[in-house]
Structure 1
Amino acid sequence: ESGANVITTDSSDWATNCPEYKVTAVQVMPVAQPSDWQRAYARFNAEQLDLLERRAAPAPVTTGK
């Protein structure tokens, strides 16, 4: 199943055969600070980016004595 199937229904427009989009009601309101899951995701994302940056960095060169 493609990602398009998540937002469309099996119905389509009769004239163009374009898929019909799913519709849902939402309530949007301003907030003063990020939610718990947003803070947790920001920490997780920062950690993942740090790990990626460290992996991309060249390995330190060591000399044998």
Structure 2
Amino acid sequence: MIEPSKNKSETDGLAADTTSFDPNGPIGRKLKSFYDVIETEAVPDRLLDLLEKLDEAERKATGGS
């Protein structure tokens, strides 16, 4: 038989663990705000140039024009 007090403490621990991963909790909201800021930033020209070079290399490797 399980002791009620022991079972309650296990449930409380589980509830605390579950709420710490709540996407609508304070950590989730803060991460979303960081993501929203980054999402609106322009892609750096250097990265765009590198992506274009990669596309060009892939076209050459596959025999495309």
TMscore range, shorter length: 0.3 to 0.5
User: Could you say which structure has the higher strand fraction?
Assistant: 1
Q: Which has the higher contact order (CA 8 A, sep 6+)?
A: 1
User: Could you say which structure has the higher helix fraction?
Assistant: 2
Q: Please, what TM-score do these two structures have when normalized by structure 1?
A: 0.40
Q: Please, what TM-score do these two structures have when normalized by structure 2?
A: 0.40
